[in-house]
């Protein structure tokens, strides 16, 4: 089973490293980290990760996964990225994303007519690409699996493993990674967060979201 | 605020990347990835990450954090590692770990007389180092914060941020990373997992755990 993540500068590393930890433990899986070159990829928070294969050399993937990031705008019209995703997405068994990675899948035309989700700030933007924006931590529509923001990647990956190789393997990985979460606060989504916290995060993100909305409109 | 992770070959990358994502978003924080050299560190699952500083050049840290991994045995008697941790731990404001990283802190003598936790398979081994093994996803005793297995690192980091800079910042990071977990199964800890799954994971790990117990005994 060939599992591949598309890595790019400015991605949010936990969008990728969460599902990586889960998927790398699937028996028989080979995980590829595909990027434009083999140079280190620097995440939005400064972590540098080494890709394993270039886009040109990447084998056909069974699972294609695109992580998100705060600066996906530049990728929405990046032909090298979109061509890679279209080529892989046409034959992958599962076409997937975490967080705003779904906007990149959308820009590549891979979510047209599919229910999909994204980071809570951006899920409505999927409509511009013909997707059906759908709230949810993990949203499945046929062979499209999209996860919500950042940490949703762990829930997404366990759900995908259960689908691909069965619940027993998924449950074993969940127990081995001690995924029995106990967040210190109940506020990881606007539906349950304090209004003051939602307002504070929205204010910090507003400028970036305005730019993203414009970039999505231009790319669609 | 200087925050540092000790990176080493064979570590479990999510033990580190989970808390990294949280801590890197603390305003004013500088995050250091300290290793014996600046060569890429390969995780137990094959992910290659670049350190930012050598042990010798690492500034005094306010937060020292040691991730775990399946192969910590070799570090329990590794003088270069233990010397670094003792030197940093003597003056750090917070001495912390995720998963079996607590065994390394223990081997360095940094948990003597402290309540601490670890991956569920290994928490009892802390006793050999004079720690007080304590069940819990995040265990605090004075300035020691230890997290449980792998994914507990996210809960640990949010708890630490709330302590260091206040609940508002922690809640904002939790909302920005959409940490509103919804595991597909209720089985991330032996207390809640199906007995068949606990038995299957324990069987896979048995040999490794026997070796670890022997290495802990030898180091203590």
pLDDT digits (tens, 9 = 90+) for A39-72: 999 999 999 999 999 999 999 999 999 999 998 9
What per-residue confidence (pLDDT) applies to A104? 98
Is B99 labeled as catalytic in the residue annotation? Answer: yes
B174/A159 CB distance under 8 A: no
What per-residue confidence (pLDDT) applies to A51? 98
Count H helices, E strands: chain B? 6, 11
B41 forms bridges with which residues in the sheet?
B49
Q: Average pLDDT per run of 10 along chain B, which is 220 residues long?
A: 98 98 97 98 98 98 97 94 98 98 98 98 97 97 97 98 97 97 95 96 95 95
What per-residue confidence (pLDDT) applies to B71? 85
Q: Is the pLDDT of residue A132 over 90?
A: yes
Q: How many domains are there within chain A?
A: 1
Q: Which two tokens stand for residue A179?
A: 């995924």
Q: What is the mean pLDDT of chain A?
A: 97
C-alpha closest to that of A96 among A156, A163, A56, A167: A156
In chain B, residues with a C-beta closer than 8 Å to the C-beta of A151 are 154, 177-181
- Per-residue pLDDT averaged across A79-95, rounded? 98
**From CA B24, how far away is CA A68, in angstroms rounded?**
17
B197/A175 CB distance under 8 A: yes
Q: Which residues constitute the domain of residue B70? A: 2-219
Q: To the nearest whole angstrom, how far is the Cα of B26 from the nearest Cα of chain A?
A: 11
In a mutagenesis test of the B interface, which of A14, A198, A204 is the best target, namely the one with the most B β-carbons within 10 Å?
A14
pLDDT tens per residue, range A172-207: 999 999 999 999 999 999 999 999 999 999 999 999
What per-residue confidence (pLDDT) applies to A205? 95
- Per-residue pLDDT averaged across A80-88, rounded? 98
The residue written with tokens 């027993």 in the block is: A168
Q: To the nearest whole angstrom, how far is the Cα of A85 from the nearest Cα of chain B?
A: 22
In a mutagenesis test of the B interface, which of A22, A151, A165, A191 is the best target, namely the one with the most B β-carbons within 10 Å?
A151
Q: How far is CA B6 from CA B26, B81, B143, in A?
A: 19, 9, 18
Q: To the nearest whole angstrom, how far is the Cα of A48 from the nearest Cα of chain B?
A: 6
C-alpha closest to that of B194 among A155, A177, A167, A181: A167
A184/B48 CB distance under 8 A: no
pLDDT > 90: percent of chain A: 100
* Residue B133 belongs to domain with CATH number: 3.40.50.880
**From CA B89, how far away is CA B92, in angstroms rounded?**
5
């Amino acid at each position: 089973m060939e599992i591949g993540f598309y890595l790019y500068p400015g991605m949010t590393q936990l969008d990728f490293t969460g599902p990586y930890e889960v998927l790398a433990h699937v028996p028989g899986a080979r995980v590829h980290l595909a990027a434009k070159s083999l140079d280190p990829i620097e995440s939005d928070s400064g972590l540098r990760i080494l890709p394993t294969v270039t886009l040109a050399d990447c084998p056909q993937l069974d699972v294609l996964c695109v992580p998100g990031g705060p600066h996906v705008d530049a990728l929405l019209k990046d032909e090298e990225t979109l061509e890679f995703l279209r080529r892989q997405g046409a034959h992958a068994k599962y076409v997937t994303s975490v967080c705003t990675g779904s906007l990149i899948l959308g820009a590549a035309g891979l979510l047209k007519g599919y229910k999909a989700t994204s980071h809570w700030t951006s899920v409505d933007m999927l409509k511009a690409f013909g997707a059906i924006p759908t709230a949810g931590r993990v949203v499945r529509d046929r062979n499209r699996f999209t996860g919500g923001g950042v940490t949703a990647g762990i829930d997404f990956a366990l759900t995908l493993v259960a689908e691909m190789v069965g619940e027993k393997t998924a449950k074993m990985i969940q127990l081995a990674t001690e995924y029995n979460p106990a967040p210190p606060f109940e506020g990881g989504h606007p539906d349950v967060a304090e209004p003051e916290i939602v307002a504070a995060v929205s204010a910090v993100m507003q400028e970036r979201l305005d730019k993203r909305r414009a970039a999505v409109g231009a790319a669609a």
